[in-house]
Amino acid sequence: MIIAVDGPTASGKGTIAKALAAHFGLPHLDTGLLYRAVGRQVALAGGNPDSPDDALAATDFPDSLLDDPELRNEVTGGLASRVSIHPLVRKALFERQRAFALQHGGAVLDGRDIGTVIAPDAEVKLYVTASVEVRAQRRCAEMQDAGREVSLDDMMADLAARDERDTNRSDAPLMVAPDAGLIDTTSLNKEAAIAAAVEAVNAAKEQGTRNGK
């Protein structure tokens, strides 16, 4: 069973995807981490994330970079959004993601184009979203817990800019797959959001069984 979980930054998709993987006993891939690694590699090389050539060269990052704690900060998140608009970068990372999705037994992947591009044949597709203000509040809380201060207004502006880039890029834009179940976590806590996702997956499995899939 392949479970595709898409959605914008700080919507809760990563938390939900990890929980689904644990609940259903499946491996999990945070595909956004691959793009963060590319963005981080560009910065380490002194390149320009808006340059297609610099971004493509950075796709050859060492696997050890995936363990770099800097991949989780807001600066790298912004770089990831910028390098992800380049079609050649997305092509370079496509096969890696596709192979993970197609492994024996299935997998859970979260990102922005899983249900539409990476695994359009996924048995279960979810789109996780929340208001920009709530997403900004969550991200600010995470940064404060890490000892970093950032204003809510600045965070909202940053997330809005990322949403604009992600939804309007020409290649594999962030969008809701036609057959995806929508989960709005704006008013849900972590436990309720996970419960809603598990229920959605079970419902999709039952529907698939009835349809003979």
162-175 per-position pLDDT tens digit = 899 889 988 888 99
Q: Confidence class of residue 209 from pLDDT cuts 50, 70 and 90?
A: low
Structure tokens at 128: 């996780």
- Where along the chain do its domains lie? 2-210
Residues whose CB falls within 8 Å of the CB of residue 172, separated by 6 or more in sequence, listed in order: 90, 112, 113, 116, 117
Distance between CA atoms of residues 170 and 19, nearest Å: 31
Residues whose CB falls within 8 Å of the CB of residue 195, separated by 6 or more in sequence, listed in order: none
**What does DSSP assign to residue 123?**
S
Q: Which residue has tokens 């922005």? A: 112
What mean pLDDT is predicted for residues 105-112?
A: 95
pLDDT of amino acid 177: 94
pLDDT of amino acid 213: 58
**pTM as predicted:** 0.85
211 compared with 152, residue with greater pLDDT: 152
Q: Which CATH number fits domain 2-210: 3.50.50.60, 3.40.50.300, 3.40.50.1220, 3.40.50.880?
A: 3.40.50.300
Structure tokens at 182: 């929508």
Helix ranges restricted to H, the chain? 13-24, 31-44, 52-57, 74-83, 87-101, 132-145, 152-168, 190-210
The one-letter code for the residue type at 57 is: A
74-96 pLDDT, tens digit each:
899 899 989 988 999 989 999 88
Of the candidates 137, 120, 132, the residue with the CA atom closest to the CA atom of residue 177: 120
